[in-house]
Amino acid sequence: METFCSYDGSDRFWDVNVTWHTENPDFTKCFQNTVLVWIPCIYLWLCFPFYFLYLQRHDQGYIRMSHLNKAKTAIGFLLWLVCWADLFYSFWERSQSIYRAPVYVVSPTVLGITMLLATFLIQYERIKGEQSSGVLLNFWIIALLCAIIIFRSKVLHALKPGASIDLFRDVTFYIYFLLVLVELVLSAFPDKPPLFSERVSDPNPCPESGASFLSKITFWWISSMMIKGYKRPLETTDLWSLNKEDTSTEVVPVLAKNWEKEYLKAKSPPVKITYSPKKKPIEQPESADETGEEVEALIVKPTAKDVESSLFKALYKTFGPYFFMSSFFKIVHDLLMFSGPGILKLLIQFVGDKSAPDWHGYLYTALLFICACVQTLILHKYFHICFVTGMRLKTAIIGLVYRKVCLHRSY
């Protein structure tokens, strides 16, 4: 890795004395140009296939171009130009017989392609009616956090007396840092609803569907209802309309379709056939050149257990993914519960170690706070998915039973 960052291997990838055992921690230049640049890129490319399929299957309509969307797209293109400006600057240096390490070519190329991917997702979300993107917001947060570390390192290096400064790359990085910050702020705001959305004609729509990603994970969208209920008793007209995906017109047909498949599968089960050797008459002698043995097919009638249709399978096909999603959040929450005592143990060891730098204590305290906040957000998301899925399941079963009762009464 050292030769990837510098031809002579002088730029080390990791130095524990520079990063940990010091009063002024910092990462090596090689680590900054590789890991801190590649982390947001790896995140977005890993999420892209799943998010692309999600957008394809959840088409909510077309969103018209707004000033917010135009600004996010323009900044995405500017980020791509800034990243590839470093790339072409490396090519220009090579033409001037100034040879740089491969990292100065690879990292700007990867980062520039990733910015093009982010710009593509901004427009694809608009086409599919996605008002606020959690995937892109997390991408800009990760990119900004990594850029903050590099920004601090560049400022500290510039303040050193007699330090050599790469003016062009420093200027392009400061522009990149500013653009990422602006893009993060713009991504925190939701876009307009789709052009032919039902929310446009609804007199009192639920704000959850049009809320931003940050508002959804913090449940800030319900604050107006809570404030109104605090000021005066709530009335029927104050209640929001149900989200479209929570209504019986959306939930019941899906369960009815899956139940019909299970019912038809059980009504006409596949015929089971077994084979047994066929007995030959005694008077016919067995020929010497006979190599095989004749068999006869026996058709076995299915038992009563084989023809029973399973309501559980229909419910699993309808609501199974939601329960798997809630289980994933619960597992992550339980894993984070084990990290808290581990960080607390490190904090206690820090208190007893007089030679440890002071910033270790601040780091452990910040990690404890962040871990507790993430646990709370994940646990609330878990309960929200469980309660909403339970409500949909109850609505679907009641609707299915009601349909059956109506059909019986019609005959």
Using the Cα atoms of residue 237, residue 239, residue 243 and residue 246 in order, give the sign of their dihedral. Answer: negative
> Could you tell me if residue 23 is left (phi over 0), alpha (psi between -120 and 50 degrees) or otherwise beta?
alpha
Instruction: Provide, for the chain, the percentages of residues in helix, strand and coil under a 3-state DSSP scheme, each rounded to the nearest 5.
Output: 70, 5, 30
Q: Which of 333, 332, 366, 373 is nearest to 347 (CA)?
A: 366
Q: Check residue 307 and give its pLDDT.
A: 59
DSSP 276: E
Cα separation, 226 vs 243, in Å, equals 19
Q: Can you give the pLDDT of all 411 residues of the chain as single tens digits? A: 656 777 666 677 788 888 888 888 888 888 888 899 999 999 999 999 999 999 998 888 888 888 999 999 999 999 999 999 998 988 888 888 777 778 888 899 999 999 999 999 999 999 988 888 889 999 999 999 999 999 999 988 888 887 788 888 899 999 999 999 999 999 999 988 887 766 666 778 888 888 889 999 988 999 989 999 999 998 888 888 888 888 888 888 888 888 888 888 877 655 555 555 555 555 555 444 444 455 555 555 555 455 577 888 888 888 888 889 999 999 999 998 888 889 999 999 988 888 888 899 999 999 999 999 999 999 999 999 999 999 999 999 998 888 878 876 665
Q: What is the pLDDT of residue 410?
A: 63
pLDDT at 300: 52
- CA angle 209/213/217 to nearest 5° reads 95
Six-digit token string for 365: 């305290």
DSSP 220: G
State whether residue 211 is helix, strand or coil.
Answer: coil
- Please give the torsion angle defined by the CA atoms of residues 9, 13, 19 and 22, in that order, rounded to the nearest 10 degrees: -20
Say what the pLDDT of residue 308 is.
72
**Contact 299/271 with Cβ under 8 angstroms?**
yes
Instruction: Tell me how many degrees the CA angle 225-227-228 measures, rounded to the nearest 5.
Output: 65
- Could you give the CA distance from residue 35 to residue 212 in angstroms, rounded to a whole number? 30
One DSSP character per residue, 27-50 reads --HHHHHHHHHHHHHHHHHHHHHH
- At position 247, the amino acid (one-letter code) is T
Task: Give the Cα separation of 103 and 85 in Å (integer).
Answer: 15
| pLDDT for the residue numbered 137 | 93
Question: Are 219 and 379 contacting, i.e. CB atoms less than 8 angstroms apart?
Answer: no
CA dist., res. 147 & res. 107, Å (int)? 14
Q: Model-level pTM? A: 0.82
Kindly state the DSSP code that residue 130 receives in the 8-state scheme: -
Contact status, residue 108 vs residue 80, Cβ threshold 8 Å: no
From CA 379, how far away is CA 127, in angstroms rounded? 32
Question: Pairing state of beta strands 295-300 and 272-277?
Answer: antiparallel
Q: Find the helix or strand (DSSP H, E) in which 259 lies.
A: helix 248-267
Q: How far apart are CA 114 and CA 47, in angstroms?
A: 12
Closest CA to 63 of 136, 137, 122, 134: 122
